[in-house]
Chain A
Amino acid sequence: MNEIGKIKGARSVATQDRLNKFLKDASLFYGPDPDIMEYHGLEKRSDMEDVAIKNENDPARMSIVSDRIQAGLDEAFEMLANIGIAPGAKWGDMSTAVYTASGDLTQASTGGVVIFSNLVQYSTKFINKYWIDDPTVGVNEGDAFLHNDARYGTPHNADQALHLPLFHEGKLIAWIGAVIHEGECGAKEPGGIPSSAETIWDEGLKLSPTKVAENYELKRDIVTFLQNSVREPKLQYGDMKAKLYVCCRIEKRMKETIAEFGVDAVLAAMRLNLENTETEVRKRISEWPDGTVRHVCFADHTLRESAMIKINLALHKKGDKLIFDYRGSSPEFTNRANNSLTITVKGLLSQLFLSYIWPDLPRNQAVLAPMDFVFDEKSVLKPTIGTPNAQSMMTLFHSWTAAQLCVSKFIFSLPDKYTRFIAPWYAMINTFQYGGLTQHGEIVGNICADINGMGGGAFADRDGQHSMAPFFATMADIGEQEFIEEELPFIQVVSKKLMKDNQSFGKYRGGMGYQMVVAMRGSNAFGFMLTAQGSKVPNTMGLFGGYACHAYPLCKITGVDVFETFQNRPDEFKYSIQELMNEQPFEGANYSTHAMALQYDFAKEGEMYMIAQGTGGSYGDALERDPEMVMKDMEEDLISHDVAWRIYKVVYDKRNLTVDVEATEAARKAEREDRINRSMPFDDFVEDWVTDTPPANIPYYGSWDDNEIVYAGSPDIKGKIEDLDPIIMPDPKDVRIQALEQELAALSKENPTT
């Protein structure tokens, strides 16, 4: 409810009640609720839970009940993977979960994306707060609610979540949720994550939690409205049905568990699962040394123009608490879609802890309960509620990488770890989105499964795994190209081929990413998009002297049809981006490089779009890498001679890759000495390097040396973040037009007759 009533000073209780009622009746709009979004801890134990725990608290029995609920969730997850229609359902980009009646996530499916389940807590709490007592909505057995608007509780609008209330003897005792990354949502660009959105109304469907089913039946009028709002009506209907039946399956399993163990046992198990997890997390945090670790990451564009967008993190650990302090990060962008949300930052960090630090813990929200988060209001991580956020990943993922780096530094020296220590995973979506008319006459809009090919970080004792998984999901699937080509009108001419030298160098290298060369074939209305950071500033850092990943551009070859060259000049094609771009084998074609920020671009038959997946961060000094491991990478064609020598300083016989051990040791010794010679005292470095303000030639956003003061694109635009004017950027096309018009005007002036 609106808080105006609190501002006006002391009132009688009766007046306050009347005022509250009036304000409630006069509410214009139940928008995303900051109070709900702010709180990520556990709700208080309800009376119902108290009674249940008094009656049922035997740990062995609770464990068996939890296992039973888990089995139901995993069964439902498998069902969702099978009957979901969206590509995301096939790759594991989804989840199923159970929530307490108050809306806390208590158990999520073993597979799938943790953040999905985590965020549905907020929409559930929204329904509890606004709809449950609203006579025009209400919550009844057999109802289902759907939403996609990220501000109510999804990672972004491309995801759709369906909730089903679970009743027992007429009483709401839990919520059930199923989420799929659907992709298409009717935005100005196809595929669900428009990069050219300047307002939230460009972002397509903005569904707040809405009752879409009664009596376990989807309401066809609402389904039709939703189908009418997106490009893929088949997907919209099919997956609403899939999610509804999956939630019904979970409901059935929950009711069976209640029938067998009693409702108190189920309620107690759900609640104790949360409380026990929080207690355990506090114990584990207590094992860390107290202190502060800081890290910054930079996004290098807004997806419309270049910019240095700072994500600033200081992670404080004291006792059994962690505080993630993101103050000093970039201010929000009023008309760019790269703003994140606090709930998505927090939700993604639950993934960090549950997949990389304590993967043995149950997947529930209590993992974050002992953690606090501090953001600047109006920052890119805590923007004003009306700013666009369709591309929240463009800053969100950096907040995650900064956190992974900080946490890694805290836990490195711990004697007891709960899994292996690892350098940062590659965390960006270097993959094509697509949309248009397929060879089968269907309109589609979605994202390629290559999102799942991110490289794993290096370990303290071995190399990382090549293109293994997206950092936010386990057992995700890159898919099979033969099936993809059957459905969609483009071909990967080079597909999932590890890219030479695409390696974060170190004692142990990160897992490498693969390259993709795609070309449209067989449609007259189909195009691609690309929305990723890291074309100028690397996304992922190394650890303890290890190199970061590379910067990755989008490369394009236009003015040529690769399929025509296959037929007529079959030897021209080269099977790597480096060769295609450096050797330029197609005469007369245009070769260009860009940031990985491609607004929807209609493709012509056979023109080539090329990118590479990223590599995970490396570990340790490259000069300490075992020369034999360097040779193994050589033998596998993963690195060039240039890298073997210039980075790793290995001397070897190029004919048979035999290492000259002594010469290598000498070369490395010389390099170490060179490093010393190139170095300078820290104070000198600071004097030489540090400036008072950001450089004027780079549009810089975020704090510089004082977290209180942030910059907004220029050394001259700075101040406390709340005092800054909204950052409204011109449309790059207008900028270009203006520049061309100026050129034209100048030319006209020089040659008045032309």
Chain B
Amino acid sequence: MRRVSVDIGGTFTDCFLVWDGKYVAAKALTTYQNLAHGFNHALKNAYEELGLTLDEVMTGVDSVRYATTLGTNALIERKGPKIGLITTAGFESSVPISRGRGYGEGLSDRLKRDLPMGERPDPLIPIPMIVGVRERVSESGEILLAINEDDLREKIRHLVDRGAQGFVVSLLNSVINPENEIIVEEIIREEYPSHMLGAFPVILSHLVVGRKGEYARTSSSILDAFLHQEMYHGLSSLELNLRDQGYDKPMQVIHNSGGMAQLNSTDALQTIHSGPVAGIHASEHLAMEADLGNIICTDMGGTSFDIGLVVEGGVKFYDFNPVIDRWMVNIPMVHLVTLGAGGGSIAKYDRMSKTVQVGPESARSDPGPACYNKGGMKPTVTDADFILGYIRADRYAGGSIELSEKRALSAMKRNIGKKLGISEIDAAIMVKQKADNNMANGIAQELRTRGYEPRHFTMLAYGGNGALHGCGIANILHINKILVPPFSSIFSAVGAGNMDQMHFHETSLYLTLFDTYSQDMFDDYDRFNVMVADLEEAGKNDLMRQGLDPDMIEHRLELDMRYGNQLAETTVICPFPRMTSEDDILDLIELFSRDYGQRFGEGSQSPEAGIRVNTIRVASYVSLDKVHLKDILPTVADLKEGPEGGEKHPCYFPDIEGAVDTVFHTYEDLEFGTVIPAPAVVSSDSTTFLVEPGWQLEVGKYGAGWLRRLSTKCEEGA
């Protein structure tokens, strides 16, 4: 297998090169002015390590895959064209009002509950660029009011006069009957033909999202339109760069749904958060290969703590109304939660409870933690880690930032120690404990709302601070195993290297499987089967358009089911491709009941409220070869004692009086399978392992390592 996968992040472009069983990780700075430069640089770093040439790589690799934060950055910078929104008359304010709750989407819980601080983000489409056209489709698709073409033409011209550079068309119930949306597009094309210079891009909402929900669908379409141009230019210049360098196959773009596709089958919206999603995908693959069981993926960086979930048995966790930046959308996206917790999280004195609060505010990289000595006056988690001795002043971030002990101590003393009447060390212990607890509570809530217990999980810790706080978090959750994965600093790029080509197609419907009043079971099998067949056909066409062999295409049928009018929709992987009998329905109901019971408690099922299917979804995919990661973790047979002695420094740990002599190692100096007892700190190029008392580290390959709990008090999860 020869494969290049790249994750273009905000700071670094990560590259993972697989070449005939050899794996190389490389990085380069992201070059915003032309992303290709960063890519070329990162790739060069990788192939040079293997002694290859650019030409060899470009003509030899079977695929080049991209995960990118391009769209995320464009949103942060609000960099996009002026778009006009055409919606159903009477619904012009749906987007500005954003279901009311739009003021808090994407913010912390603290801000969500503070109504006076509530403020909606600056709109991507301001009110004057929204028009309503006279038309109306009913919930079942009946045209109640035919579109008024004269009115429409007038509204289109109005938007163009105001400077529209493109249109989003989102009409009510268009996913059930798109006729009016299609007419709008036709009329725009009539007014501004596509072969003319004045042509405009038009995005129809029913093509972006197949499900009901006019606000979230319109919001999805707006984001798509807003990002389209930027993403198109960015990604096509990358593809052109590949062509120039001799690569002649289609470039693959990673989707946030957990698959990938060529540019001609990719919506801009599907690329948002594709990097973190690729990280979760890599975790899933690692879990399968190394037989890890259920895993919780955590990525702790400087400002945020991402949590993803992978459980055995192929259960997928998606968000069907994810929040992108500050907007709720309704495309299916691999479930990912971000907490405001990281090394830069600011700690402050809490007068009321006479203790500390940590985050969600962050010192970010500028000014950064106080110990960066760049003007930061507030103590952070990194300051606490530094004061407690886990980080050495001259080895932080590969020695690129020299830390100031004086600044860290002073900030901790002034802001916390003095107010609580405790030493800087005790204050730092409080900050560490609070930060670890915040993250642990986030993980626990995440798992438990889905019916899982953290102690039954292995924790995957990546990101710059993951291995530093892993033991602290796991102690609270009674998790006994932490895996710091290989290539952890470019883990998303590794995930991108393992994606399959996949497309989702879905449709909303009101399908009553079981009617509680009449006690009738659904029996219109043809209706159901035709819908499934249509969705499979759409997926198949997507994949065939990319040149894939129709015989290799597989489909997974998923149904979103619920009791009565509940909000909770449980996604059930349908055990049959077509519905043919009452037994099929009873099988489905049993599956649904089982999954629901696991999530909310056995006995909480409410079939007496009726059972409905609200969405039919088909994932169409082609399975591709995978990168093997199995042998990079030590087995029991590989384990060996670590080196004697070593450099020792005092460190402080919760619940242990005074300083503890702690051995410091360099990861690259340790052999595969070496066992490092606690307490110890092991630094690698990409991360720092803190082996807290009660734990040990087993060294793997490529930066990987097992942190295992030695204490027996939580054996259940071992």
Contact = CB atoms under 8 A, between A and B. Distances in A.
B608 A566 contact: no
B172 A481 contact: yes
A713 interface: no
B250 to A, nearest CB: 36
A732 interface: no
Interface in B173-214: 173, 212-214
A71 B445 contact: yes
Contacts of A63: 350, 353, 355-356, 434
B90 interface: yes
Nearest to A483: B212
Nearest to A68: B441
A469 B98 CA distance: 11
Interface in A499-548: 514, 517, 521
B567 A514 contact: no
B355 A237 contact: no
A234 B134 contact: no
A645 B328 CA distance: 38
A156 B444 CA distance: 34
A78 interface: yes
B565 A482 contact: no
A260 to B, nearest CB: 8
Nearest to B518: A441
B604 A234 contact: no
A459 B116 contact: yes
A150 interface: no
A334 interface: no
B115 A356 contact: yes
- Size band of the B side of the interface? 35 or more
Given A111-B112, A469-B101, A482-B213, A64 B128 contact: no
Interface in B131-179: 132, 134, 136, 138-139, 144-146, 148, 172-173
Contacts of A479: 99
A728 to B, nearest CB: 40
Given A85-B563, A456-B118, A485 B138 contact: yes
B90 A110 contact: no
Interface residues of A, number: 101
Contacts of A420: 116-117
Contact of A60 (B433, B603, B608): B433
Nearest to B215: A480
Contacts of A277: 352
B113 A482 contact: no
A691 to B, nearest CB: 39
B417 interface: no
Nearest to A66: B353
B100 A469 contact: yes
Interface stretch (A120-128, A188-196, A486-494): A486-494
Most interface-central of A75, A279, A362, A425 (chain B CB within 10 A) = A75
Contact of A59 (B213, B353, B510): B353
A575 B90 contact: yes
B568 A83 contact: yes
Given A468-B100, A517-B90, A59 B354 contact: yes
B355 A62 contact: yes
A636 B129 CA distance: 9
A111 B112 CA distance: 8
A466 interface: yes
A238 B568 CA distance: 13
A637 B112 contact: no
Nearest to A633: B127
Contacts of A471: 115
B146 A570 contact: yes
Contacts of B212: 480, 482-483, 486
B93 A477 contact: no
A280 interface: yes
Given A110-B109, A486-B139, 10 more contacts: A110-B112, A238-B608, A359-B115, A466-B96, A469-B103, A482-B214, A485-B173, A498-B97, A636-B126, A636-B128
Interface of A: 59-60, 62-64, 66-68, 70-71, 74-75, 78-79, 81-85, 87, 89-90, 92, 110-111, 234-235, 237-238, 241-242, 245, 248-249, 253, 272-273, 276-277, 279-280, 283, 355-356, 359-362, 419-422, 425, 440-442, 452-453, 456, 459, 465-469, 471, 474-483, 485-487, 491-498, 514, 517, 521, 563, 566-567, 570-571, 573, 575, 635-638
26 contacts: A59-B353, A60-B356, A74-B445, A82-B567, A83-B604, A83-B606, A87-B565, A89-B566, A111-B109, A440-B512, A441-B517, A459-B116, A466-B97, A467-B93, A475-B101, A475-B104, A476-B101, A482-B214, A486-B212, A496-B94, A497-B91, A498-B92, A517-B90, A563-B144, A566-B145, A575-B89
The 10 closest A-B pairs by CB, nearest first: A82-B568, A494-B90, A245-B604, A359-B114, A636-B127, A71-B441, A485-B139, A280-B352, A566-B145, A420-B116
